[in-house]
Each structure stands twice: as structure tokens, then as C-alpha cells.
């Protein structure tokens, strides 16, 4: 049975990243392709040539969750109040403008009124990040964050990559995206071509990784100099943290970004209504859309693979995804703000029940078929 939901009733949230070493040898990380690609890309590289790994790769996946507000009454964005991450408070300016229902866009919190629709995993996270930069990120980030993320989204490797440097014993070293606690990411240095074994020697890891970055972390809104590896990683994650907070699929601008407050949400100058007033709350994105549906862009432009219960379990056990609730149980750890000193955890006792698998599969199927068809 197909079921359709209004764009404004849909929400999503970034959960984080995880690693899966039990994938097909042909299913390497890819930096190109869209929703029309199959899961394993037929074992071809970006030019259609065979690029099979000698051993099965350890795939990095980005994971996100989709939600629906079944109590939505048609008030569009004006039906919600949104969390201001800079003030750590709820902003109800849209509700004040509409003077109707004023529900919290709070799918990132326990006890939320939003219902979980399903989980998705994205191997092509570079394309996913590009869609964020082109669309919703335009009206979420300030100019400094936006300029930085626009340049440095390409910093992340497509796959386990040779550094062309060796360890103390002359063995080759590799690097790849490294999932971190609370949905953050870094780069990791590894001793095997699967990027599954961390390097723990005495070489300066940050220096080796800095040398291998495609462009270096660039302070695009500052003096034009490169940031250190640690500074760049922190700046990236600070901006990316915004999407761990419940976000509407329909892009909006609430003026949290002070750089855009006088331009109707547009970096291109915005537009005005017939009385000469700025059109408040509209989000004018880089791709020349107004109030685009970000979730629809994920479906159209990324692989957006359905994540099953095994995927959720693996991600939870690795300790790198943020906390969420499913079927009355909490998974993950941490939230949308970083907790200092958080350690990676492993829960070897977690396992899916038959009932959980069935309910999870049904909810995901309904979401995939009915929401953005």
C-alpha cells in the first residue's frame, strides 16, 4: 500500500557514520553516481573500468533517519518552532507569523511526536554532502561555515587510499574516512588496504594525513591560509553538527544565519514582495530552487540505500552514531552537541528480535515507496 505525506510534515536527521567490512569486493566507496546506481556499482570505477579490490573493502556509510508528523494540519513551515543551535533555545518566529499550531521540530529528542519512517545508509557520502551544501546548508550555516564547507566537502577520500608513505618497518600506510563518536568524522591512518587496522606507531599521524588531503583544510572566509589538520576537522564537525538536530525536509530560513537576515535567506540578494518587503523565511538555494525538499534531493541524487536492522545494529555497536529511539528502545549515544571525553563503546549483547525486524522492514518499505515517488 502506497502512502503519501505532505512535504512540510516530513523531517530528517543525520545519525552519523559507521564501517561495514562485510560487503561485496566490488562495492568500494564511490565519489560519483546517483540514485540510479545499484548497490555495488557493477564493480566499475567512475570511468566504467573494472576496479575490483583484491580483498573485500571496509565500506564507510553515512546513516540518516526520516520522520513524519502525522498530526500535521496544513500550516506549512509556520506550523513548527525550530531549535536554534546558536542560542540553544526554541525559535517560534514562524509560529508567530502563522498564528496556528506551534509544534516543535524535535525528532532528535526522546518523546517526540514525530514517527520514525526508516533509516538510510549512503556509501556515496561526498554526493550526499554536495546536496547539503547546494540546498539546505545554504540557509542553515553562516557565511564562514558555508564557505568552508563548500570548499572542503571534497576533502574526504572515496575509498581506502595509499598514502605512499611507510611505517617504521617499511610497510605501506593507508587512509580513509574514520567514524567518530556522536556522529562526527575524521581521517584515519591504517596499516592494511582495507583500512580496517589502525596505525598505532610513533609517526605523526596528523602530519601524514595533512600531506594527503586533496586540497588541505582551507579557511575560505578568513585570510586564505590552510588550517591545521585538527582545526579543520573541528571546524568541519562543528558545522555538520547542525544536521543532527531535527531538520524539516522542506528547506527554510529563520534568520539564524545573521549574514542572510537582510537578504530574504538568499546569498544572491533575495527578492521582495509587491509592497517592497523581503519575503521572510524563504530559502533561496545555490541550485536556484526556493524552499527545496532536501529529502527529495537525497532520493534523486544519492544512492539512498535502505538500512536494515543489521546495519542499525552494526552502527550502534561501533559507538559512532547519535542517540535515537526505535520501538521503545534507545540506540546510539550522545546528541546534537558534543560531549567532551566521550569514548567509543561496544555492546556485544545487542541483537534484533524477529518482531523488530518485521516492523522495521514494513516502516522502511512504506517510506521508500510512498513518500517521494
**Which residues in 284-308 are b (16+ Cβ under 10 Å) and which e?**
bbeeeeebbbbbbbbbebbbbbebb
Do the domain assignments include residue 2?
Answer: no
Do the domain assignments include residue 37?
Answer: yes
Do the domain assignments include residue 1?
Answer: no
Res 47: pLDDT: 37
Res 94: pLDDT: 76
State how far the alpha carbon of 9 is from the alpha carbons of 89, 223, 259, 326, 334, in Å.
22, 42, 28, 19, 26
Res 139: pLDDT: 87
Structural domain boundaries, residue 278:
7-370
Contacts for 267-270 with beta carbons within 8 Å, 24 or more apart?
Answer: 267/138, 267/143, 267/146
Do the domain assignments include residue 316?
Answer: yes
- Below-70 pLDDT ranges, the chain: 1-2, 24-54, 56, 96-99, 214-216, 218-225, 254-280, 336-373
Res 1: pLDDT: 54
Res 43: pLDDT: 37
Res 256: pLDDT: 59
Tell how strand 80-84 and strand 103-104 pair up: parallel
Cell numbers at 254, concatenated: 529563520
Res 224: pLDDT: 63
- Among residues 108, 110, 118, 104, the alpha carbon closest in space to that of 65 is found at 118
pTM: 0.80
Phi, psi of 169 (to 5 degrees): -100, 10
Domain total of the chain: 1
Do the domain assignments include residue 86?
Answer: yes
Q: Can you tell me the distance from the alpha carbon of 203 to that of 291, in angstroms, rounded to the nearest whole number?
A: 48
Res 330: pLDDT: 85
202 contacts: CB under 8 Å, gap ≥ 6: 168
Do the domain assignments include residue 146?
Answer: yes
Res 114: pLDDT: 95
Amino acid at each position: 500500500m502506497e502512502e503519501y505525506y505532505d512535504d512540510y510534515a516530513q523531517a530528517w536527521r543525520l545519525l552519523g557514520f559507521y564501517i561495514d567490512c562485510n560487503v561485496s569486493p566490488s562495492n568500494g566507496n564511490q565519489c560519483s553516481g546517483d540514485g540510479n546506481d545499484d548497490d555495488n556499482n557493477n564493480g566499475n570505477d567512475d570511468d566504467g573500468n573494472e576496479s575490483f579490490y583484491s580483498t573485500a573493502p571496509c565500506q564507510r556509510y553515512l546513516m540518516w533517519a526520516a520522520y513524519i508528523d502525522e498530526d500535521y494540519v496544513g500550516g506549512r513551515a509556520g506550523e513548527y518552532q525550530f531549535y536554534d543551535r546558536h542560542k540553544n533555545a526554541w525559535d517560534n518566529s514562524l509560529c508567530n507569523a502563522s498564528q496556528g499550531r506551534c509544534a516543535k521540530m524535535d525528532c532528535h529528542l526522546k518523546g517526540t511526536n514525530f514517527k520514525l519512517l526508516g533509516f538510510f545508509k549512503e556509501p556515496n557520502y561526498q554526493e550526499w554532502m554536495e546536496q547539503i551544501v547546494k540546498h539546505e546548508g545554504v540557509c542553515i550555516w553562516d557565511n564562514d561555515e558555508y564557505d568552508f564547507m563548500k570548499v572542503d566537502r571534497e576533502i574526504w577520500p572515496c575509498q581506502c587510499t595509499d598514502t605512499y608513505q611507510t611505517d617504521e618497518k617499511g610497510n605501506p600506510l593507508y587512509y580513509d574516512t574514520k567514524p567518530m563518536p556522536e556522529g562526527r568524522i575524521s581521517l584515519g591512518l591504517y596499516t592494511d588496504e582495507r583500512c580496517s587496522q589502525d596505525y598505532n606507531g610513533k609517526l605523526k599521524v596528523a602530519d601524514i594525513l595533512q600531506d594527503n588531503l586533496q586540497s588541505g583544510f582551507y579557511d575560505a572566509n578568513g585570510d586564505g591560509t590552510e588550517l591545521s589538520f585538527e582545526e579543520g576537522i573541528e571546524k568541519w564537525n562543528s558545522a555538520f553538527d547542525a544536521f543532527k538536530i531535527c531538520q524539516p525536509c522542506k528547506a527554510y530560513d529563520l534568520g539564524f544565519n545573521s549574514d542572510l537576515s537582510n537578504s530574504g535567506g538568499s546569498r544572491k540578494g533575495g527578492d521582495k514582495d509587491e509592497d517592497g518587503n523581503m519575503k521572510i523565511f524563504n530559502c533561496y538555494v545555490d541550485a536556484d530552487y526556493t524552499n527545496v525538499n532536501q529529502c527529495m534531493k537525497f532520493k534523486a541524487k544519492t544512492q539512498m540505500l535502505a538500512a536494515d536492522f543489521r546495519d542499525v545494529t552494526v552502527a550502534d555497536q561501533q559507538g559512532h552514531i547519535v542517540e535515537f529511539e526505535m520501538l521503545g528502545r534507545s540506540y546510539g549515544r550522545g546528541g546534537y552537541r558534543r560531549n567532551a571525553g566521550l569514548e567509543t563503546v561496544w555492546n556485544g549483547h545487542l541483537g534484533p528480535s524477529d518482531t523488530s525486524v518485521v516492523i522495521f522492514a514494513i516502516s522502511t518499505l512504506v517510506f521508500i515507496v510512498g513518500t517521494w515517488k
